[in-house]
Structure 1
Amino acid sequence: MDYLVVKWLHILSANFLFGTGIGSAWYMLFASISRDVRAIAVVSRYVVIADWLFTASTAIAQPVTGFYLIHLAGYPLNSRWIMWSIALYILAGACWLPVVWLQIRLRDIAVEAAGTGNALPPQYWRYFRFWAALGVPAFCAFVIIFWLMVAKPA
C-alpha cells in the first residue's frame, strides 16, 4: 500500500481514537456531574457503544498502520521518538482497559438506578473517580504522542 494512503489512514484513525475518547469523556463527565440518573444512564450506554465501535477498532488500527509506516519510511524502530511513542501508547492502553470495565459498571449501575428511580449509590461515584483519574494520564500520553509524530525529534 502507498505510503500516503497508510499515513492518511493512520492520521484518520488517530483522530477517531482521540476524538472519541475526548467526546466520550466530555459527555460522561458532564452527564455525571448533572446527577440526573436518567441522563447518566442514557449517556453511559452510548459511551460504552462508542468505545467499542471507535476506540477499540482504532486502537488496533493505530499500531498496525504505525508499524507499517515505520517500515515504509525506513525509520529505525529504536528511534527515540518511536520508542517513546510506543511506551506512551502502551501507557494509554493500560489506562483504557480498566476504563472499559469501569464504563460498563457505571452504565449498569446508572441503568439500574434509573429503572428503580433511586439515586446513584456511593459505588458509582467511587468508580467514577477511578474512571476520571485514569483519563488524565491517557489524555496526556496521546497529546505527547501527537507531538512526537509531528516533530519526530532526534
Structure 2
Amino acid sequence: METLSVMKMLHGLATALSLGCALGLVFRAWRQRASAVAGQATSLQRPWLFVWILMGLSLFSLPFSGWWLVHLVGWPLGQTWLLGGSVLYLLGGVCWLLLVGRLGKATASRRSVVILAGLSGLIFLGIIGLMVAKPV
C-alpha cells in the first residue's frame, strides 16, 4: 500500500474516532439527563477517562497527519481552505480545552457546557466541510 493511502486512512480513522468519542459523551450525558441533578453533576465531573484520552490523542494527531497529507500531495500551505481549516482547528481546540476544564468542575453551569459543546461541534463540522469540499 502506498504512503498516501495509508495516511488518508489514518487521518480518516482519527477523525472518525474523535467524532465517535464526542457522540459517546453526548449520549452518556443525554442518558443521565433523566436522572437526579446529583447524577448529572457526577456524570459531568467524571466523564469516561479513556474516551477523553482517545479523543485527545486523535485530536492531537490530526494536524500532523493533515500536514503530512498536504506534503505528500504537494499542495501549498497558503491555500485559503487550509488556512481557514487551521484557524478553525485552533479555535475548536481552545473550545474543547475550555469544555474539558468546565466539565471537571462541580460549579460548571449547564448552559456554558452546552454552549461550548455546541460551538465545538459546529467548528468540527465546519472543518470537515472545508476538508471535504477543498474550495480554491
Identical-pair percentage: 27
TM-score, length basis structure 2: 0.86
Offset at residue 147 of structure 1 (A): 1.3
Contact residue 31 and residue 40 of structure 1 kept, 8 A: no
Contact residue 29 and residue 40 of structure 2 kept, 8 A: no
Question: Which amino acid in the other structure matches residue 12 of structure 2?
Answer: I
Question: Which amino acid in the other structure matches residue 95 of structure 2?
Answer: C
Q: Distance in 1 between matches of 2:103 and 2:48?
A: 8
Offset at residue 17 of structure 1 (A): 1.0
Higher helix share: 1
Q: Distance in 1 between matches of 2:44 and 2:113?
A: 15
Question: Which amino acid in the other structure matches residue 22 of structure 1?
Answer: L
Unpaired segments of 5 or more residues in structure 2? none
Aligned to 2:26: 25
CA-based RMSD: 2.1
Offset at residue 36 of structure 1 (A): 5.0
TM-score, length basis structure 1: 0.77
Q: Distance in 1 between matches of 2:34 and 2:77?
A: 43
Contact residue 7 and residue 69 of structure 2 kept, 8 A: yes
Offset at residue 44 of structure 1 (A): 5.0
Contact residue 16 and residue 55 of structure 1 kept, 8 A: yes
Contact residue 48 and residue 100 of structure 1 kept, 8 A: no
Deviates more, 1:79-88 or 1:23-32: 23-32
Aligned length: 135
Aligned to 2:88: 88
Cα 1:139–1:11 change in 2 (3 A) is same
Which stretches of structure 1, 4 residues or more, deviate above 6 A after TM superposition?
none
Question: Which amino acid in the other structure matches residue 112 of structure 2?
Answer: F
From 138, 142, 151, the equivalent of 2:120 is 138
